[in-house]
Chain A
Amino acid sequence: MRTLKDVEEGERVKVISVSGDRILKRRLMDMGILKGCEIEVLKAAPLGDPVEFLVRGYRLTLRKKDAESVGVEPL
């Protein structure tokens, strides 16, 4: 399964699962990353990590390691 970590700049995907430890999972969900929501990858930081995403109309940054917790499929 593809995760948010593997998505390229400019791609838009749909979330199909959110896993990970309880605290990370809750935080992701509170910030709007849930099953069925759309995410667009905006750009990576100059050093490659973290990555900036467009979620529900605002900009969110996530580390690649945490982005692995989000399972996605193409739109």
Chain B
Amino acid sequence: MKKNIALIGNPNSGKTTLFNALTGGSQRVGNWPGVTVEKKEGKLRQARDVTVTDLPGVYSLSPYSPEEEVSRRFLAEGSADAVINVVDATNLERNLILTIQLLEMGIPVTVALNMSDVVERRGDTVDEKKLSERLGCPVIRVSALKREGLENLAATVLEQASYGMRIPKKFFKGELSKAISEISGMLEGHIGDDLLYWYSIKVMEHDPHVQGAFPSPVLERALETVRRTEDSLGDDGEAIVASARYEVVDSLVRGIYQKSEKGGKSLTDRIDEVVTNRWLAIPVFAAVMFLVYYLSITSVGGYMTDWVNETVFEENVLPRTADWLAGMGVEDWLVSLIVNGIITGVGAVLGFLPQLLVLFLLLALLEDSGYMARIAFVMDRILRRFGLSGKSFIPIIVGTGCAVPGIMASRTIEDERDRKITAMTTSFMPCSAKLPVIALISGALFGGSAWIAVSVYFIGVFSILVSGVILKKIRGAFGKASPFVMELPDYHVPSARNVVLSMGDRSWHFVKKAGTIIVLASGLIWLLTSYDWGLNPVGAESSMLASIGNALSPAFSPLGWGDWRAVVGTLSGLVAKENILSTFGILFGMEAVAEDGAEIWTYMATIMTPLAGFSFLLFNMLCAPCFAAIGAMRRELGSWKETALAVGYQCAFAYVVALAVYQFGLAIQGTPSFWLIPAALLVIGTGYLFFRNPGEPEDEVPAEAA
């Protein structure tokens, strides 16, 4: 019979390592429906018809975060026949809080007492037999890293899974225990017996999700008992239960963990003396960031990406396929669609892969070793004012090379809101594809001044920070903000297996999700630039895209560049920002265009003044990124709707900036135009969004018992 085992435990408890050890390489990664929380499933190596579901790392089962909600629901609705609760033996008290809550639900629990190797190394001992007696469930000593105890664990949990019954363990004593029994008596019959105890506790905790499960009069009577208990014990129901759990845990662990005589600073403390040192922390961080960027974007990743793009695709796959198809007598237009549309699109996706692989490898190393938490700790203060997390630094820095891996690097940020805001603003940084555009404008209109590039980087950073503040203040968006209460785990050597699997998972996901949109979008652009509305093959200047550009150009004349060629250039930037140059080349009748577009400089000057050129540059730097980056955003934001809103925001922001720059520039030059007024209004409006006080956070509930 198909069984399902759930794996649950604290973050940093070695759960991932255990999951990988139990399932080998058979895991599949997805998302839990409705939330951007990763869901992993795999087949148990010891019994191939048994599925292991890896629940997110949680400290508790409160109703306040998506990770906990997803775990609670999974367990409450009976999707798991048994649970493996990974407990970090070096952190018993905090880990057992979750264990108690699992036992309250009545599901068969097997505790995997992990990190046993660390305990041994320290010379400490743990009495798992006594713990097992007191908990009333099996406790198996394991070391996921050393792969010890796994067979025993698997056998035990499978036995547990065959029981098919839920028996909640009741640990509470005294007045709380009596109150819960009373509540159970009132709720009986309205809910299945197996979850009656658990629901009674939830009512005591004022759990919002559980309120709707009972008819009002029944609930009201139960709440009277709750209020009476709160008055008697002098605290809120939720706090009473939380305290009681810790009392239970304290009595459970007494005498279980014996520390050895060895004292002295642990390795983790010694490393932290340097890494979170007041003076050294930031230089160390800068060095690590540089290394990450260098390895993924410049050296290894960069070389391989160039190799894929140039050698593999441009020099081989594309021309050979084209020749082969033509030789088979395939129609020209179909050859063009396949080669220039589809294969080019696929090539674009695969081109990113080497950089992504290297980046994900490095990120997995940082996470698994425990250093990632230190990054968040050190950088939090600067970035949190701007709606970002300390870990947002990584996407931003990587994004100066390429926004695609940059956006994907935001995956490491736990807080949903920070993660989404980071994903949305990363592309404001100029990436390497935008450099040719900078060179073009600078060369054609500003005599090659280096200030143009410098200002673009500053405006990029400025845009990220300002947008972070604005977006953070939009209440109800981007999921709930969670308090920054973070554990700094012990350092340990990253597990090669974990790192490689993580790298593979995330890269594969990029290919699947982002890949689809890139291929489709490339095909679409190919269609729009190769044909006119009658579907006759034409040159770019008469194509559908050109007529779209023409139609949109009035919208851009207040920005100073209402020429249809500039608009078409911008649109072509959606495929890849460097395409802007080749598009201008085509539209000005050039065959080929150099890296800085030198051939078309004089032409550029005829359609834009320097001020207009700067406005054009800013718009293209800040507006929607290339399709690949949009695909990456879709992956992080989780829905098309949110992605569309994000892109909409970016374009609106870009428009306001470009408009303001051009109009204020005109005014300063002494030739103000009518559009100065709307420009000023928009700037004031943006300032309002930035400076306003959003009032009470919507998830604040008065501290007294509700």
B699 interface hit (Cβ, 8 Å):
yes
Of A18, A23, A24, A47, the contact of B239 (CB 8 Å cutoff): A18
Contact indicator B281/A46 (Cβ below 8 Å): yes
A75 interface hit (Cβ, 8 Å):
no
Chain A residues whose C-beta falls within 8 Å of the C-beta of B701 in the assembled complex: 21-22
B378 interface hit (Cβ, 8 Å):
yes
Closest Cβ of chain A to B190, distance in Å, is: 25
B495 interface hit (Cβ, 8 Å):
no
Q: Would you list which residues of chain B between 588 and 628 have a CB under 8 Å from chain A?
A: none
Contact indicator B484/A66 (Cβ below 8 Å): yes
Contact indicator B62/A60 (Cβ below 8 Å): no
Contact indicator A20/B703 (Cβ below 8 Å): yes
B6 interface hit (Cβ, 8 Å):
no
Most buried by A among B482, B484, B699, B701: B484
Most buried by B among A30, A31, A32: A30
Contact indicator A57/B91 (Cβ below 8 Å): yes
Of B282, B486, B697, the contact of A46 (CB 8 Å cutoff): B282
A7 interface hit (Cβ, 8 Å):
no
Contact indicator B243/A46 (Cβ below 8 Å): no
Contact indicator B64/A27 (Cβ below 8 Å): yes
A2 interface hit (Cβ, 8 Å):
no
Cα A29 to Cα B241 with chains together (Å): 10
Contact indicator A27/B700 (Cβ below 8 Å): no
Q: Would you list which residues of chain B between 130 and 149 have a CB under 8 Å from chain A?
A: none
Minimum CB distance partner of A29 in chain B:
B242
Question: Per-position contact with A for B480-517: 1 when CB-CB < 8 Å, else 0?
Answer: 10111111110000000000000000000000000000
Number of A residues near B (Cβ < 8 Å) is: 35
Closest Cβ of chain B to A4, distance in Å, is: 12
Of A26, A37, A52, the contact of B377 (CB 8 Å cutoff): A52
Chain A residues whose C-beta falls within 8 Å of the C-beta of B377 in the assembled complex: 45, 50, 52, 61
Q: A18-B239, A32-B94, A61-B488 are in contact. Are A23 and B382 (CB under 8 A)?
A: no
Q: Would you list which residues of chain A between 13 and 54 have a CB under 8 Å from chain B?
A: 18-32, 34-35, 37, 43, 45-50, 52
Of B60, B242, B378, the contact of A45 (CB 8 Å cutoff): B378
Contact indicator A26/B278 (Cβ below 8 Å): no
Q: A21-B703, A22-B701, A25-B703 are in contact. Are A30 and B59 (CB under 8 A)?
A: yes
Q: Would you list which residues of chain B between 78 and 126 have a CB under 8 Å from chain A?
A: 90-91, 93-94, 97
Cα A9 to Cα B204 with chains together (Å): 38
Minimum CB distance partner of A53 in chain B:
B488
Chain B residues whose C-beta falls within 8 Å of the C-beta of A50 in the assembled complex: 377, 380-381, 484
Contact indicator A22/B703 (Cβ below 8 Å): yes
Q: A29-B239, A30-B59, A66-B483 are in contact. Are A21 and B700 (CB under 8 A)?
A: yes
Cα A46 to Cα B384 with chains together (Å): 15
Minimum CB distance partner of B484 in chain A:
A63
B642 interface hit (Cβ, 8 Å):
no
B171 interface hit (Cβ, 8 Å):
no
Q: A45-B276, A46-B281, A46-B282 are in contact. Are A26 and B488 (CB under 8 A)?
A: no
Question: Per-position contact with A for B686-700: 1 when CB-CB < 8 Å, else 0?
Answer: 000000000001011
Minimum CB distance partner of B483 in chain A:
A24
Minimum CB distance partner of B61 in chain A:
A30
Chain B residues whose C-beta falls within 8 Å of the C-beta of A24 in the assembled complex: 483, 485
Chain B residues whose C-beta falls within 8 Å of the C-beta of A58 in the assembled complex: 91, 94, 487
Chain B residues whose C-beta falls within 8 Å of the C-beta of A35 in the assembled complex: 243
Of B62, B381, B703, the contact of A30 (CB 8 Å cutoff): B62
Of A27, A34, A56, the contact of B62 (CB 8 Å cutoff): A27
Chain A residues whose C-beta falls within 8 Å of the C-beta of B486 in the assembled complex: 60-61
B277 interface hit (Cβ, 8 Å):
yes
Chain A residues whose C-beta falls within 8 Å of the C-beta of B243 in the assembled complex: 29, 34-35
Q: A25-B239, A50-B381 are in contact. Are A30 and B699 (CB under 8 A)?
A: no
Chain A residues whose C-beta falls within 8 Å of the C-beta of B277 in the assembled complex: 46
Cα A58 to Cα B486 with chains together (Å): 11
Q: Would you list which residues of chain B between 351 and 389 have a CB under 8 Å from chain A?
A: 377-378, 380-382, 384
Contact indicator B380/A49 (Cβ below 8 Å): yes
Q: A22-B703, A31-B94 are in contact. Are A46 and B64 (CB under 8 A)?
A: no
Closest Cβ of chain A to B95, distance in Å, is: 10
Minimum CB distance partner of A47 in chain B:
B381
B279 interface hit (Cβ, 8 Å):
yes
Of B381, B489, B699, the contact of A48 (CB 8 Å cutoff): B381
Contact indicator A59/B488 (Cβ below 8 Å): yes
Chain B residues whose C-beta falls within 8 Å of the C-beta of A47 in the assembled complex: 378, 381-382
Minimum CB distance partner of B278 in chain A:
A46
Chain B residues whose C-beta falls within 8 Å of the C-beta of A25 in the assembled complex: 238-239, 703
Q: A20-B703, A49-B381, A58-B94 are in contact. Are A34 and B242 (CB under 8 A)?
A: yes
Q: Would you list which residues of chain B between 441 and 498 have a CB under 8 Å from chain A?
A: 480, 482-489
Contact indicator A23/B699 (Cβ below 8 Å): yes
Chain B residues whose C-beta falls within 8 Å of the C-beta of A61 in the assembled complex: 377, 484-488
Contact indicator B484/A26 (Cβ below 8 Å): no
Chain A residues whose C-beta falls within 8 Å of the C-beta of B294 in the assembled complex: none
Q: A43-B276, A46-B276, A52-B377 are in contact. Are A23 and B488 (CB under 8 A)?
A: no
Cα A25 to Cα B243 with chains together (Å): 12
Chain A residues whose C-beta falls within 8 Å of the C-beta of B482 in the assembled complex: 23, 27
Cα A32 to Cα B484 with chains together (Å): 15
Minimum CB distance partner of B384 in chain A:
A63
Closest Cβ of chain B to A48, distance in Å, is: 7
B246 interface hit (Cβ, 8 Å):
yes
Q: A43-B276, A47-B382 are in contact. Are A28 and B485 (CB under 8 A)?
A: yes
Cα A22 to Cα B384 with chains together (Å): 21
Cα A24 to Cα B384 with chains together (Å): 17
Contact indicator A62/B488 (Cβ below 8 Å): no
Most buried by A among B242, B276, B485, B701: B485
A-B contact pairs, 7 of them (CB 8 A): A26-B62, A30-B62, A46-B276, A46-B278, A60-B488, A61-B487, A63-B484
Q: Which are the 3 A-B pairs with shortest beta-carbon distances?
A: A30-B60, A29-B242, A59-B488
Other contacts beyond A31-B94, A56-B91: 13, CB < 8 A:
A19-B703, A22-B701, A23-B483, A24-B485, A27-B483, A37-B246, A43-B276, A45-B381, A47-B378, A52-B488, A57-B91, A57-B93, A60-B485
B binding-site residues for A, Cβ under 8 Å: 59-60, 62, 64, 90-91, 93-94, 97, 238-239, 242-243, 246, 276-279, 281-282, 377-378, 380-382, 384, 480, 482-489, 697, 699-701, 703
